[in-house]
Amino acid sequence: QSALTQPPSASGSPGQSVTISCTGTSSDVGGYNYVSWYQQHTGKAPKLIIYEVSKRPSGVPDRFSGSKSGNTASLTISGLQAEDEADYYCSSYAGSNNFVFGIGTKVTVL
């Protein structure tokens, strides 16, 4: 299975919105509503911020939102803040008890 495709970088000014795409196939993203997003600050472990396409774990701000259309999932960060500068990875269940991650997107707050 191949890694999910993400843009290498995205940026925005404080208060703006940024959207990151995550493109897979009908065997992973398109086939299941089990897409997750993780935030990773430099030198730290990933943190779950979105699961099952659009659900937020307790404690994750509501300015993080997720959606999916066909084989592409998206993460939107609204009201961008300095602490949102990090790497973001999508992940999808890929059937047969397998998981696949995206290649990652570096978000820069200008």
Partner 1 sequence: QLRLQESGPGLVKPSETLSLICTVSGGSISSSSYFWGWIRQPPGKGLEWIGSIYYSGSTYYSPSLKSRVTISVDTSKNQFSLQLSSVTAADTAVFYCARHGPYIVAPFDIWGQGTLVTVSS
Among 75, 102, 107, 109, the residue binding partner 1 under the rule CB under 8 A is 102
Among 59, 62, 97, 110, the residue binding partner 1 under the rule CB under 8 A is 97
Among 91, 107, 108, 110, the residue binding partner 1 under the rule CB under 8 A is 91
Q: How far apart are CA 42 and CA 32, in angstroms?
A: 30
Parallel, antiparallel, or unpaired: how do β-strands 9-12 and 105-109 relate?
parallel
Q: What share of the chain is helix, strand, coil (3-state, %, to 5)?
A: 5, 50, 50
Closest approach of Cβ 21 to partner 1, in Å?
15
Nearer to partner 1, 13 or 59 (CB): 59
